[in-house]
Each structure stands twice: as structure tokens, then as C-alpha cells.
Amino acid sequence: MEHLLSGMVFFPLVGAALVLCLPSTRHDLIRGTATAFTIPGLLGAFSLFQRFNPEGGFQFVERVPWIPAYNIEYLVGVDGISVTMVLLTALLSTLCMVASFGIEKAPKGYFALFLLLETGMMGTFVALDFFLFYVFWEVMLLPMYFLIGIWGGPRREYAAIKFFLYTLLGSVLMLVALLYLYFTPTPHSFDMTKLGVLVADKIPLKVQMLLWLALFIGFAIKIPAFPFHTWLPDAHVEAPTAISVILAGVLLKMGTYGILRINYGILPAATLAPMSDLVPALGGLSVAFVVLAALGTFNIIYGALCAMAQQDLKKLVAYSSISHMGYVMLGMAAFTDQGINGAVLQMFNHGTITAMLFLLVGVIYDRAHHRDINGFGGLASIMPRYTFVTGFAFFAAMGIPGLSAFISEVLVLLGAWKVYPLLTVIAASAVVLTAGYMLWALQRMYLGAPNPKYADTGWEINGREIFTLVPLAIIVLVLGIYPKIILDLQDPALRQLNTHVTSASQPAARAMRVAAAGE
């Protein structure tokens, strides 16, 4: 049995333990060690990328009994749904370590917690045992709470506990659903690869839908979908730069990943069941339509409008995340091959683009100690290189053709058009809003006459910062031109997932058509 994935998960944990043993005055040593311990994960990701066989189902599987009396296993593996997320996590972890070199306050604690966080993130994406998944999912909370609460901005205490409470609320509902699913088949099982088949005929559809919704709330808080999103602007704004990157780049994806893996994988029949079973007023609209497609579209518009109203650049980026994650929800609710491929590609692309955006916000904040969009002006003449990179990232976020987000958004819209034409029109028109707030911010901050306050500061982006941005920029550019690199990895698994859901709900598929007609 190969231990590639276990290594990727637990190497950072070893690093965390080691960092804690270092003398607390040696800041350089601490940073270096912490970064070094993310490198094996990155190398592992390269190896995974090369050797992953898209047609091969679950790969690099490791299965060890953990608590045999309860049939809990240490079961990890990757398939087309998770492989890109593992790559993204490894990449962003290393880059964010480098981006954290400026941390002066208790760096030992910071880097140890960061490494623990990486273990949690990796573990969540590779876990195939539901219990294990839940443990990793929760393991992330504590480090995140401290990273925001100790190293964050002025309102960090509020933001940290709000993030913690929201996420925990979602996960306890997940715990109840998890237990219910576990006890349904005999012998009881937590194996996520089999649970779908095991419980299919054993739980009445109505109960399945309740479980689906309980799980969904847990994941929707993470995405975050309206109305569970209010923790996000607070957490993102208060978190230190690298942590905002991780939050937006990796943690948000766990919400949509969870829905694909667990809601779709284990409860496919409930996914397309008509809502009328629970709420008669909603008629034949399917669950996926109501909570994913409609809510996702609302997210797109709502996030964009909120972003437009922001004065704080970081808040603007935070709301743009809400908006962009809406495309993921819309795409995955369509159950067309383009739609779901676009959604998962968008998860990856949003991860890289939003990481750039937050890093860039961090660069200017480190220098000016504020993020007020109206407080700058003419930065292009003060920091030309910085402005160039920012312009690139902003255009990428807008979905300009040639850059990666364009491909994923178009795929989502193409895929959704066949099923939800009205929603697609609304979602597509939001691209104008996105361009609006992005360009407007760009204009206010970078163009025009330079703010005299900053005219002679000699600010420019430094080598370390460029080092964190360039790999992301290359990926954005390459995937904008040749998205097949990622699409090939995920496509077979996603097609299979589509069939899995639609075939499990043949009667319910009708409900979806009704939904489409009812628009």
C-alpha cells in the first residue's frame, strides 16, 4: 500500500510538533522549518498530478481499521472530485507560508497552527470515511479560530468566534446526519464510497431529504451561501493576509466539495426529489433547484451588489468570493457535463484567483495600514509593477477571455442554460456587475492623480511577494488557454457523479423538468 496521501496529510502535523520545539526567539528558523514542512506536500501533489489516472476511480487508497468495534476506518483516497482540491491545498499552503514571513507576533504559535490547519485541510479532501472526514473537518476550526483571533485585525475577537460558532452549528447538524446514516445499513458503515448504495433503499425519501438539508446547511455555511454567509466578510477582513487566502482559497471549496462528495454521493435520490414532499408550497421544484441553483444565482447577484458597495478593498474581495462561489452552486445543480465540470473547475480557478487578490490586498495593507479604496489614487505611477499584477488578477476575477475564470464560468453558464435558462440569464448578466465593481475599484485606487500622501514613499512590491504571486498568475494564464490540464483529471469522475445522481432519481428527474418549465 502506498502512503503518499498519508504523508501529505501528516507531514505538516509532524512539522507543527517540531516547530513547537524550536526556540521562540529564532524567527527565521521557525519560518524556514514551517515552510520546509509544506514542501513534501507540494512534491506529493506533483507526483499525484502526474500519476493520477482520471479513469481509475479512487486511487492511492489507504485503508486501515481504526476503531474496529465501531467499524471506523482510516480510509483515504482521491478521485476526480478531490484531486484538484488536493493540488490547490498543497500549492496554497506553501505559498501562504512564504506570504506569512512578515508575522512578528509569536511566530512559533502561528506557524504551528498553520501546519495543523494544513493537516486538517488535506485530510478533509482525502478522507473517504465519514467519521474521519468529520474529524478533519473539525480539526480545522481550532487553528483557524486562533489564527484569526490572535493575529487578526481590530475586530478579530468578534470575527473569530463568529466564524467558529457558525461553522460548528453547521457541523453538529452534519454529525447528527452522519450518525443516522451510519446506523441505517447493517453492518453499520462510515465508508463514503459505499454508503450511498447501502442506504439507498433503507431510508424513506422524505427522511433522506431532511438529512440532505441538514448536511447542506453544514456545507452552505462553509461556501458560504446566503443566508449563512455573514461570518465571511468579518472573518476575511479581520484575518491576517495568508489566512484570508487559505479561507477563501481552500476552506470555501470544502462546502461545495462536501455537497458533491456527501450529498450527491450518499443521498443522490434526495438531490433531485421534489420539494413538495417537505414544503407543499414549492410544488415540483427539485431540492437541487431550490437550494443550489436558485440560491446560487442569488449568491452571484447578491455578492456582486454587496461588493460594489464596499469601501474596504478586502471586504470587496470577500464579497466577490460569495458571488463567484454562486457559479459553483449553479453549475453543479444543472447535472449536465459542462455544468458540473465548470463548477469544479471554478472551484480551482477561484482558489487561485482569489488567493492572488487577497495577497495583493495584503501587499498594500502592509504598506499603507489601511484598505480604504478611496484613500489611494494613482497608485499606478507609484507602484507600476504592483499595479500590473493587480490589474491581471482583477481581470482574471472579471472572467476576461484568455484567463482561467472565463473558461469555468462559461462552462457553468453553458451547462446551466440547458436546464435553468432563466437563472442562467440572470447569472450571466451579473458578469457586468463584476466588471463594474472591479473596474471601479481599479480606477479609484490605481488611476488618476497620485495621492500626495503616498507620492514619495517609494513603495513597490518586493521579491518575496512576487514569488508568492507568480506561480498563481502562471496557473491562471495557462488554464485560461489550456484548461484541459485540469478538466481531464476531473471529467470522468464528474460524469459518473452526474449519472449517479440522475439515475438514482428517475421519477425525480421529472421534477427537475417541471422546475425548468416553471421558470
Binding site for other proteins (CB under 8 A): 66-70, 134-135, 138-139, 141-142, 145-146, 149-150, 156-157, 160-161, 164-165, 168-169, 172-173, 175-176, 179-180, 182-183
Based on CB atoms, which residue is closest to other proteins, 138 or 519? Answer: 138
What are the grid coordinates assigned to 272, written together?
A: 433531485
Based on CB atoms, which residue is closest to other proteins, 182 or 216? Answer: 182
> What 3-state DSSP class applies to 146?
helix
Based on CB atoms, which residue is closest to other proteins, 117 or 173? Answer: 173
**Segment 315-319 long-range contacts (CB within 8 Å, at least 24 positions apart):** 315/233, 315/236, 315/237, 315/371, 316/373, 316/437, 316/441, 317/236, 317/248, 317/354, 317/357, 317/358, 317/361, 318/232, 318/233, 318/236, 318/237, 318/244, 318/248, 319/233
Based on CB atoms, which residue is closest to other proteins, 70 or 388? Answer: 70
Based on CB atoms, which residue is closest to other proteins, 169 or 474? Answer: 169
CA separation for the pair 180, 227 (Å, rounded): 26
Q: In the bound complex, what is the minimum distance in angstroms from residue 222's beta carbon to other proteins? A: 15
CA separation for the pair 78, 126 (Å, rounded): 6
Angle at alpha carbon of residue 264, lines to 184 and 230, rounded to 5°:
105
Neighbours of 418 (CB within 10 A): 14
CA separation for the pair 51, 316 (Å, rounded): 39
Based on CB atoms, which residue is closest to other proteins, 19 or 92? Answer: 19
- 455 DSSP assignment: T
Based on CB atoms, which residue is closest to other proteins, 267 or 332? Answer: 267
What are the grid coordinates assigned to 432, written together?
A: 457586468
Q: In the bound complex, what is the minimum distance in angstroms from residue 96's beta carbon to other proteins? A: 21
Q: In the bound complex, what is the minimum distance in angstroms from residue 29's beta carbon to other proteins? A: 19
Based on CB atoms, which residue is closest to other proteins, 121 or 353? Answer: 121
Q: In the bound complex, what is the minimum distance in angstroms from residue 157's beta carbon to other proteins? A: 5
Neighbours of 319 (CB within 10 A): 24
What are the grid coordinates assigned to 111, written together?
A: 506557524
Q: In the bound complex, what is the minimum distance in angstroms from residue 318's beta carbon to other proteins? A: 21
Q: In the bound complex, what is the minimum distance in angstroms from residue 243's beta carbon to other proteins? A: 15
Based on CB atoms, which residue is closest to other proteins, 109 or 377? Answer: 109
What's the distance, CA 180 to chain centroid? 27
**Segment 435-439 long-range contacts (CB within 8 Å, at least 24 positions apart):** 435/398, 436/304, 436/308, 437/304, 437/307, 437/308, 437/310, 437/316, 437/320, 438/320, 438/394, 438/395, 438/397, 438/398, 439/394, 439/398
Q: In the bound complex, what is the minimum distance in angstroms from residue 123's beta carbon to other proteins? A: 10
Q: In the bound complex, what is the minimum distance in angstroms from residue 225's beta carbon to other proteins? A: 19
